[in-house]
Amino acid sequence: MDRFYAWLEGLARAGKIPGVFEYAFTARGFLSILVLAPLLGGLSHVVVARRMAFFSTALGQAALTGLSIGLVLGEPINAPYGGIFGFCLLSALAMTYVKRRASLPEDTLIGVFLSLTLGLGICLLVAVTKRFNIHQVEAVMFGSLLTVTDGDLLLLLVVAVGVLAVVGYHYNALMLESVEPSLARAAGVRSATVEYAFVLALTAAIVVSLKIIGALMVEALVVVPAASARNLARGARSYLALSVVTALIACSGGLWISTKYLVPSGGAAVLALSGIFFLTLLAGGIRSLVSRRRPGR
């Protein structure tokens, strides 16, 4: 990787690519974007179709508790994946199990789990801060595209390949069950298997992304790209493609803004995502208006 970064540095100094690539940390941030955009942008439209936006938020909050548990048990501050993944996985499975068996509305049940995990995480932070500075914990939890390591990149790539393989295998069943559950049952779709498989894949994607881009940005990337794409998409393929492109543009824009104006990359990317959403909302409204005014409509 050092040779690759040196090659990019040479191109940047020669003026063939933007000057920010002269620095290895910027190159690593951009490489992570090239993996994150298809991963979270691709999952985004499935999350929105299955109405799991609140579920994703709850997983992001559960990561705080998982982080605290991992650090209390002795995990290193720079790689607390065991505690985060373990607790988020248990939370995701518990939420799915209860949701499939309880009569209460889904958002109510998720709200209960969110409150439980967040309260537990805040209490455990008291023990954590006796060993670590609170700013060290914040850095892990809220991440940055500019602090990505080669190890983070490798882990992200491996998980992304696995997650996309699982979602790709169950994709038709996922979308059919999201749109027409009765038709999915008639077609022989195993609802429980499909749901649990997607929940596990989504949990893995969120957890591996948390340390790299932070809780704020992960929650935005699993909801907003699909919301933006839905304003313009005319079919399933364009819906997926626009979700990924939106994530790629927003993350790249956030990285550029953070290097130019020295603001947090996660916050800048979320602002870019929000801006894209309102632009697509406006463009979709204009297209609908023009379509209604055409002769013969």
Query: Measured between alpha carbons, how far is 80 from 297 in angstroms, rounded to an integer?
Result: 58
Residues 194-198: what's their mean pLDDT? 86
Indicate the residue type of 232: L
Q: Highest mean pLDDT: which of 54-68, 178-192, 239-253?
A: 239-253
8, 21 contact by CB (below 8 A)? yes
127, 65 contact by CB (below 8 A)? no
Residues 247-267: what's their mean pLDDT? 80
Residue 123's pLDDT band, with cuts at 50, 70 and 90, is confident
- The token duo for 68 is 């605290």
Could you tell me the residue ranges of all domains in the chain?
23-143+152-284
Exposure class string for 177-194: b at 16+ Cβ within 10 A, else e: bbeeeeebeeeebeeeeb
Exposure class string for 161-173: b at 16+ Cβ within 10 A, else e: eebbebbeebbeb
Q: What is the pLDDT of residue 286?
A: 84
Q: What is the pLDDT of residue 136?
A: 60
pLDDT one-digit tens code per residue, 68-86? 888 778 777 766 678 888 8
12, 134 contact by CB (below 8 A)? no
Angle made by CA atoms 198, 199, 204, in degrees to the nearest 5:
95
Evaluate if residue 265 carries a pLDDT over 80.
no
Evaluate if residue 296 carries a pLDDT over 60.
no
Name the DSSP class of 146. Answer: G
pLDDT one-digit tens code per residue, 127-161? 777 776 666 666 666 666 777 778 888 888 898 89
Residues 156-181: what's their mean pLDDT? 84
What phi and psi, each to the nearest 5 degrees, are found at residue 16? -85, -20
| CA torsion, ordered 230, 235, 240, 245, to nearest 10 deg | -70
Residue of 77, 78, 88 whose CA lies nearest to 152? 78
Extract the runs of DSSP E, i.e. beta strands, from 132-281.
none
Torsion sign, CA atoms 85, 149, 68, 121: negative
Indicate the residue type of 210: L
Q: What is the pLDDT of residue 94?
A: 87
Evaluate if residue 285 carries a pLDDT over 60.
yes
CA 26 to mean position of chain CA atoms: 20
If you classify domain 23-143+152-284 with CATH, what class do you get? mainly alpha
